[in-house]
Amino acid sequence: MLEVIIAVSVLLISLTATIVLVVTSINAGRDSRNKLIGSSLAREGIEIVRNIRDSNWSDPSHPAWDSGLVSGNDNMAQPVIDGTSNITLDFSITAPTNLKYSDALDQFLQGSSASGSRTEFFRILYLNPICRLDTDGDEKIPVKTSTDDCTAFGLGYAKVGVRIISEVHWPDASSSKKIIIEDRLYNWLAL
């Protein structure tokens, strides 16, 4: 009888350890998948802004280099990706909306006109001017949530670029996770 109890105890301990290992492995795989998707979506946010800037340079109507990257005093934007080739930034948002995934297009979509299944990911972009003082080249950038422009730093500061902060958020079992990527794009044609 004692041998049976010991054998069952060893079997239960082994089975419990195996179950814990499998559950931990599944959770780690899900976390890794979400981090990979989140960082890809954050990089895509930076590339969207870069593409808009580059398209302005090649546009035959010669818009300003930052056309579509600024909107009055709003610095928070959400990419509008609806499955067409026309990708823009929506500065009228007050909070990010969930990205959607389109099986037909095999891509993530974002914006009010986007169709597809709702995902757990949110993406928001912050665009702030990079201001440079003409006399000594000193650069200043307003804080992420500021709506200040270059005049806030005083006379002589001119906008020479845009700092982009791309944030992707998603819920986790215990908290909210996020990936933040920052990049700076300059009007190199004027430098």
Structure confidence at residue 138 (pLDDT): 81
Among 77-81, 127-131, 170-174, whose mean pLDDT is lowest? 170-174
Of the pLDDT bands very low, low, confident and very high (cuts 50, 70, 90), residue 73 is confident
Distance CA 128, CA 184 (A): 9
Of the pLDDT bands very low, low, confident and very high (cuts 50, 70, 90), residue 152 is confident
Q: What are the structure tokens assigned to 164, written together?
A: 């982009």
Distance CA 12, CA 47 (A): 52
Within 13 Å, how many C-alpha atoms sit on residue 69's CB side? 31
Of the pLDDT bands very low, low, confident and very high (cuts 50, 70, 90), residue 190 is low
Structure confidence at residue 191 (pLDDT): 56
Distance CA 129, CA 152 (A): 11
CA 178 vs CA 8, 24, 121: distances in Å: 45, 21, 9
**For the residues of 36-100, what is the DSSP string, one character each?**
HHHHHHHHHHHHHHHHHHHHHHH-TT---TTTTS-BTTB-EEEEEB-SSS--EEE---SS--EEE
pLDDT (tens digit, 9 = 90+) per residue, 4-43? 899 999 999 999 999 999 998 998 899 999 999 999 999 9
Structure confidence at residue 83 (pLDDT): 80
Mean pLDDT of 77-88: 87
pLDDT of 135 above 80 = no
